[in-house]
Amino acid sequence: MISKHTIDQVFEIARVEEVIGEFVQLKKAGSNFKGLSPFTDEKSPSFMVSPVKQIWKDFSTGKGGTAVSFLMEHEHYTYPEAIKYLAKKYNIEIEETEQSDEQKQQLNERESMFLVSEFAKEYFHDLLKNSQQGKAIGLSYFKERGFRDDIIEKFDLGYCKDEWDNFTKAALKKGYDLKYLAATGLSIVKDNKQFDRFKGRVLFPIHSMSGRILGFGGRILTNDKKAAKYLNSPESDIYHKSKILYGIYQAKKAIAKEDNCFLVEGYTDVISFHQSGIENVVASSGTALTSDQIRLIRRLTQNITVLFDGDAAGLRASIRGIDLILEQGMNVKVVSFPEGEDPDSFAKSHSDADLKAYLQENAQDFINFKVSILLKDAQNDPVKKAGLIRDIVTSISKIPDNIQREVYVQECARIMEISERVLFSELAQMLKKDSKEALKSGQGNMPPPSFQVVKDEPVQPKVDTLFLLEKEIIRILLLYGNEEVDFVDLVEVEDEKGNIKVEKEPYKSKISKELYLNLQEDEIEFTHPVFQSVYYELIHQLNQDESINIDQLTNHKNADLANEVTSILMDEEKYSLSDWERKNIYVTEIQKILPKLVTDAILNLRRVLIERKVSEIMEEAKANPSGSIDLELVTNYTELKKRLFQKLNRVV
C-alpha cells in the first residue's frame, strides 16, 4: 500500500489544471479554465477546472473531483494507480507498505490485463536491447530504418524472439496468469498449448493518452507470404482499435501547444516525424479513421492536418476520412506527398527544416485538395465535373457550423466557376434529405402533425424543497464558512399592548458558527445522508481547528462525499461558461449579501420543517378519524410560520 505521507504529498504538489491539460485542451475563463467534456461528444464547452479550488466539474455528465478522481474517471485507474501516475509526473518518491494477500486479490481483471501488458512492454524492450537475437535482428531493423537510440526508448520499441513460447514461458515464470495473457492476445491458447502471438516480430507498444499499454503492433521481418506483414493485438477489454491513436501519449503536449495535429497512417510515419522534431503527430494505425479517434484529437485541438501518401488510389480511398473530420466540427487541412513518397520516407530523405517547410507550404484546404485530385479525371467531362462539385458540396454539408458552410460554398463557387445560388440550392436539398433520413432512423424529433390533439403532459416530479435548502446550507458552509460578517438578529419584543414586534440587533460572527448555533438550537438533522456526512465532517474540522479545510473534503476517502462537495463547489463556476460580463449582464457580488443569505437559509429551513410537521399532524388525523386533532399545537405552528414569513419579508 502507498503510505499516507506519499498521498498527502501528491495532493499538495499536483496541479489539477496541469494534469487535466494533458488530456483536454483548456482555455482561460476568468480565474478558471474551460474545455470540451472528455466524457461526452459536445460542441460547446461545459467542462470547468478551478486552479484555486484544485477541482474540476463536467456539467454535461455531472462528474467532478480532484486530479486523482479525473484519472480514475478518464483513464480507469484504480486509486493507487492514479497516485502513482501523479507521483511519477511530479517526481515524488513513493513510500509503500507490504500488501496483504487479500489486497492483491482485489486487483480486478482489467487491471491484471494492464499489468500483463506493462510486463510485456518491458520484456520485449529488454530483449531488443540486451539479447543476442534481439540486437542482431530487431535492433538492426530499427537502426536500418534510421531510428536513433533516444527515439527507440521514447516509443518503448521491442522485439519478440522467433521461438514458439519464449515470452509466454517468461510471463508464467514471473507469476502472471495465463488467463490474462490470453485475454490481452499476447499468448494464443489452443488445445492445451500456448504460444506467442508476436513471435519473430519487432513490436510497437500502443499507449493510452496517459501512457498505459493497451496493446501492440508487430511487424514481421521475414518474407513469409502466409504471414501478415503487420499484426495487431486483438480487441479486448483494454484495447479497442477504433478508439485509440498510435502516438497520442507522446504527442498530446505538442498537439495542445501547436494547436494542430498531423494525422498519418503508420507507426513508422509517427516515429520518423518525432525524430525530425515534429511531435504533434498521431497515426490511425492503418485502419479506417473513426469518429472516436477524431474526438480523441478534438480534446486537444480543433485543427487536423491529414498527411496522405503520394499514391493516387490511396488518396481517393482516404478522402472519405475528411468528411468524418468535418462532421465533428473540426478544421481540416491536407498535405499530399510526391508520388512514391510517404511521411516516413520523406522525413528520412529531407532535412528537418525542409520537412517543416514542405508541410507549411503544401497544406491546403480540403476543397482545393479534392479539386486537385479529382479534377484531372473530370476536366473535359461535364457529367464528371458535376459529380465532383456535388461531392464537394456533400463534404460542405457535413460541417455543423452555418457560417463555415457559407464560406466554403463561396470558395467552391470561385474555384469551380459556378454560381453560389446553384450551390446553396444543392446544399439545402442535401441538408433536407439528411434531416429526413435522421428522422426516419429515429435520430431526430418528428414535428407533430397539424391539428394533432395534444395529450396530457407527463406530471413533472415534485421539487424537494427540503433537499434544496439542506444543499444550500452545505454550500454556504463550504464556500463562506470561514468568513466573518455583520449579522442582524431579529428579536421578538412584546409592546405595552401585547403586540409582538421584531427589532434588529447588529452583531459580528463567523458564518460557520452562525449556522451551527441555529441548527443546534432547533436540533435539526439533515435528511439527506451525504449532506449529513458532509456536515459532520465540517463540524469535526471546526471543533479541531476552528476553520474549514476544503481539501480534506475533496480528497475524502468517501467517494460520494467528495463528489458531492466538488459538485457544490463548482456549481457557481458554470456561470462563467456563459461569459455574462461580455453580454453586459452583471451579477451582485455575493459578499454583499452573505448575512441575508445565511439568515434566509436558516429561516426557510425552519419554515419547511414546520410545514412538514403540520402536514404530518393532519395526515395522522385523516388516518384515524376517531382521534382528535391537537388544534392548539397546529395553531402554534401556524403562528410560528407567520412570524418566519414576517422575518423573511414575505406575505402569507
Q: What residue spans define the domains of the chain?
A: 4-103, 108-239, 248-440, 465-548+588-647
- Give the C-alpha distances (Å, rounded to integers) separating 517 from 485, 513, 521, 644: 15, 6, 6, 18
Sorted by sequence, the CB contacts under 8 Å of residue 481 that are 6+ apart come out as 510, 511, 512, 515, 538, 542, 548
pLDDT computed for residue 260 by the predictor: 95
Residue carrying C-alpha cell 493485438: 233
CATH number for the segment(s) 4-103: 3.90.580.10
d(CA 305, CA 553): 44
| Mean pLDDT, range 223-236, rounded to an integer | 88
CATH number for the segment(s) 248-440: 3.40.1360.10
Sorted by sequence, the CB contacts under 8 Å of residue 456 that are 6+ apart come out as none
pLDDT computed for residue 577 by the predictor: 55
- Residue 641: pLDDT band (50, 70, 90) is low
Element (H, E) at 58: strand 55-58
pLDDT computed for residue 452 by the predictor: 39
d(CA 31, CA 45): 16
Q: Which neighbouring-strand residues pair with 493? A: 501
| Mean pLDDT, range 53-75, rounded to an integer | 88
- Give the C-alpha distances (Å, rounded to integers) separating 310 from 307, 335, 341, 572: 10, 10, 6, 53
| Mean pLDDT, range 84-109, rounded to an integer | 74
**Residue 504: pLDDT over 50:** yes
pLDDT in tens, 151-180: 999 999 999 999 999 999 999 999 999 999
Q: Do 241 and 253 touch, CB atoms closer than 8 A?
A: no
pLDDT computed for residue 161 by the predictor: 96
Per-residue three-class SS string for 528-544: CHHHHHHHHHHHHHHHH
| Mean pLDDT, range 42-48, rounded to an integer | 86
Q: Do 244 and 293 touch, CB atoms closer than 8 A?
A: yes
d(CA 374, CA 389): 10
pLDDT computed for residue 629 by the predictor: 66
| Helical pair 79-89 and 67-74, crossing angle rounded to 10 deg | 120
- Spatial CA neighbour of 385 closest among 407, 397, 366, 370: 370
324-342 residues labelled b (16+ CB within 10 A) or e (exposed):
bbbebbbbbbbbbbeeebb
Element (H, E) at 622: helix 594-623
pLDDT computed for residue 202 by the predictor: 97
Q: Do 351 and 345 touch, CB atoms closer than 8 A?
A: no
* Rg for the chain, CA atoms, rounded: 32
pLDDT computed for residue 4 by the predictor: 84
For 250, half-sphere exposure in the C-beta direction (CA atoms, 13 angstrom radius) is 26
pLDDT in tens, 315-370: 665 677 888 899 888 899 999 898 889 999 999 999 999 999 999 999 998 888 88
d(CA 70, CA 57): 9
Question: Could you tell me which residue, 574 or 560, shows the higher pLDDT?
Answer: 560
pLDDT computed for residue 195 by the predictor: 94
pLDDT computed for residue 465 by the predictor: 83
Q: Which range (434-438, 592-596, 644-648) has the least confidence?
A: 644-648
**Residue 306: pLDDT over 70:** yes
The CATH homologous superfamily for domain 108-239 is DNA primase, catalytic core, N-terminal domain (3.90.980.10)
pLDDT computed for residue 171 by the predictor: 96
Q: Quote the strand ranges of 239-363, DSSP E.
A: 261-264, 281-283, 303-310, 331-339
Which DSSP state fits 96?
A: B
pLDDT in tens, 545-572: 778 888 888 888 787 888 888 888 887 6
d(CA 373, CA 375): 6
pLDDT in tens, 139-150: 999 999 999 999
- Spatial CA neighbour of 608 closest among 637, 581, 587: 637
Mean pLDDT of the chain: 84
pLDDT computed for residue 456 by the predictor: 46
pLDDT computed for residue 332 by the predictor: 92
- Percentage of the chain with pLDDT > 70? 84
Pairing assessment for the beta strands 64-65 and 158-159 based on DSSP bridges: unpaired
**Residue 217: pLDDT over 90:** yes
**Residue 590: pLDDT over 70:** no
d(CA 249, CA 210): 6
d(CA 308, CA 341): 9
**Residue 444: pLDDT over 60:** no
- Spatial CA neighbour of 63 closest among 566, 582, 632: 566
pLDDT computed for residue 582 by the predictor: 57
Per-residue three-class SS string for 433-458: HHHHHHHHCCCCCCCCCCCCCCCCCC
pLDDT in tens, 447-500: 443 333 444 455 555 668 888 888 988 988 888 888 888 887 767 777 777 777
Q: Do 39 and 29 touch, CB atoms closer than 8 A?
A: no
